[in-house]
């Protein structure tokens, strides 16, 4: 039988989590409903259609987080099926890992010129810029902070750390194949494009077999990043569970009980 934290049962905090999750879904819907293609030679040379935004890892990782936050909010009101998601630390760790990578990659891409600049001059562009900020700069740090306040004393099996790479690996392979064989040759991110990978290592004519091999190496390193972050989150969860629930060895638990 697991123990729930006071925060997990706090209905006001649960309401806040649901608001963040629902608001996230609403701005995704807003972006779909008010989609407008604007040609940009560097960032938007082709109109791939409004639903193409759903193919971005950013959107998918945010959807994962929004579902988790809504479930966590419902769990605070005693909804049992929501607790199965919210109180599963592996689900929380994966959601946090994926959204953290989303934020890190986006933030790192700003000084390198890989992301469109923010525009605040009119309502349409201001809303688009705010959405990017919400996806990449508000939700990621919020999830990291939330992770240090575990909802229950459940722990994550350390052997499951390899699971963190499954989804991003499948997503990457699908994106690479889709870009290579699709009619519009759409790649959601430049590092899935063989020409981009080749340009990092050579200025000469592209050798596609070698470029895909280099891409595979980069992909493996990327998966290690997911696994590494997942590992750190698992260790952090162990520490915070020990601290918050005094879930340690018998001697230390007796000390904790005496202090309480």
Which string of DSSP letters, residue by residue, matches 173-239? Answer: HHHHHHHHHSSS---SSGGGSHHHHHHHH-SSS--HHHHHHHHHHHHHHHHHHHHHHHHHHHHHHHH
Tell me whether residue 15 is in a domain.
yes
Q: Is residue 107 part of a domain?
A: yes
pLDDT the model gives residue 168: 97
**Does any domain span residue 116?**
yes
Find the domain containing 250 and state its range: 11-259
Q: How deeply is 68 buried, as exposed, middle or buried, from its count of CB atoms within 10 A (0-12, 13-18, 19+)?
A: buried
What was the pLDDT predicted at 143? 98
Closest by CA position to 117, among listed 57, 42, 63: 42
DSSP 136: I
Q: Is residue 6 part of a domain?
A: no
* 48 found inside a domain: yes
Q: What is the pLDDT of residue 256?
A: 52
Tens of pLDDT, residue by residue, the chain (260 residues)? 789 999 999 999 999 999 999 999 999 999 999 888 775 666 667 778 888 899 999 999 999 999 999 999 999 999 999 999 999 999 999 999 999 999 999 998 888 777 888 889 888 889 999 999 999 999 999 999 999 999 999 999 999 999 999 999 999 999 999 999 977 788 899 899 999 999 988 888 999 999 999 999 999 999 999 999 999 999 999 999 999 887 544 445 454 545 44
Question: Does a structural domain hold residue 4?
Answer: no
Decide if 1 is inside a domain: no
Contacts of 252 (CB under 8 A, 6+ apart): 246
Q: Which of 113, 126, 140 is nearest to 58 (CA)?
A: 140
Collapsed DSSP state (helix, strand, coil) of residue 4: strand
Task: Locate 177 and state its tokens.
Answer: 């194949």
Number of domains within the chain: 1
The answer to whether the beta carbons of residues 246 and 256 sit under 8 Å apart is: yes
With respect to residue 2, please indicate whether it lies within any of the assigned structural domains.
Answer: no
Which pair of tokens denotes residue 205? 């004519």
- The predicted model scores a pTM of 0.90
């Amino acid at each position: 039988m697991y123990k729930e934290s006071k925060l997990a049962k706090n209905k006001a905090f649960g309401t806040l989590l649901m608001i963040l999750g629902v608001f996230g879904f609403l701005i995704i819907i807003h972006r779909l409903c008010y989609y407008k293609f604007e040609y940009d030679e560097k960032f938007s040379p082709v109109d791939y259609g409004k639903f193409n935004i759903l193919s971005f890892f950013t959107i998918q990782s945010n959807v994962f987080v929004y579902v988790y936050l809504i479930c966590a909010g419902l769990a605070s009101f005693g909804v049992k099926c929501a607790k199965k998601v919210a109180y599963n630390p592996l689900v929380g760790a994966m959601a946090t890992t994926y959204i953290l990578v989303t934020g890190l990659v986006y933030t790192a891409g700003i000084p390198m010129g890989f992301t469109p600049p923010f525009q605040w001059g009119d309502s349409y562009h201001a809303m688009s810029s705010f959405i990017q900020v919400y996806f990449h700069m508000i939700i990621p740090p919020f999830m990291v902070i939330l992770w240090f306040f575990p909802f229950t004393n459940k722990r994550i099996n350390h052997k499951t750390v390899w699971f963190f790479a499954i989804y991003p690996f499948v997503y990457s392979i699908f994106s690479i194949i889709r870009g290579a064989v699709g009619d519009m040759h759409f790649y959601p991110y430049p590092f899935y494009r063989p020409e981009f990978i080749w340009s990092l290592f050579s200025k000469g004519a592209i050798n596609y077999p070698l470029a895909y091999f280099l891409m595979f190496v980069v992909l493996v390193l990327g998966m290690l990043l997911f696994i590494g972050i997942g590992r750190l989150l698992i260790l952090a969860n162990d520490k915070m569970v020990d601290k918050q629930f005094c879930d340690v060895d018998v001697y230390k638990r007796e000390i904790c009980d005496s202090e309480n």
